[in-house]
Amino acid sequence: MFKRGSAEEPMIVLIDGQCNLCQSITKFIIKRDPNAKFRFASLQSERGRKLLLKGNLSVDKLDTFVLIDSGRYYTKSTAALRLLRKLGGVWSLFYVLRVIPSFVRNRVYDWIARKRYLWFGYNDSCLLPTEDTRKRFLSDSWDGD
């Protein structure tokens, strides 16, 4: 179990578990996160729904991913940019895009979110983690909240 506010506390990424783009993003993060700073849960899962409610976010709109960092909730383009910054390396350079007002960034984000199933497809089931990555996915019995 991770201690709240500690450097060991993982950041949680909530994604649309049926979206192929979201599944690809999850794989992208895992590949570039050797220290396992990020944990994942599907927006559709019981754990995901509980975390959404805890953050006063809709459990019915599954058109965004959420980054939870030290108890703070970030969504849409802000979540994406913070996540890239936390990945470090060259990816943190994208954080400079924060200078673009969020209403502009989120319009682009929303447009991609609306088209993601058309462009990338979807699965009827969520991503199944490999044995190596299973520990990065929060189960419904996870007690970290």
pLDDT digits (tens, 9 = 90+) for 48-71: 999 999 999 988 877 788 999 999
- The whole-model pTM stands at 0.80
Backbone phi and psi for residue 138, each to the nearest 5 degrees, phi listed first: -75, 130
Tens-place pLDDT, residues 86-124: 999 999 999 999 999 999 999 998 898 888 777 877 776
Structure tokens at 123: 């699965």
pLDDT confidence of 3, banded at 50, 70, 90? very low
* Inter-residue contact 40 to 13 (CB < 8 Å): yes
Q: What is each CA distance from 133 to 6, 74, 87, 109, 130, in whole angstroms?
A: 22, 24, 17, 27, 5
Give the span between the Cα atoms of 115 and 70, in whole angstroms.
31
pLDDT value at residue 1: 38
Domain layout of the chain by residue ranges? 11-136
Give the span between the Cα atoms of 33 and 27, in whole angstroms.
10
* Inter-residue contact 85 to 52 (CB < 8 Å): no
Give the span between the Cα atoms of 50 and 68, in whole angstroms.
13
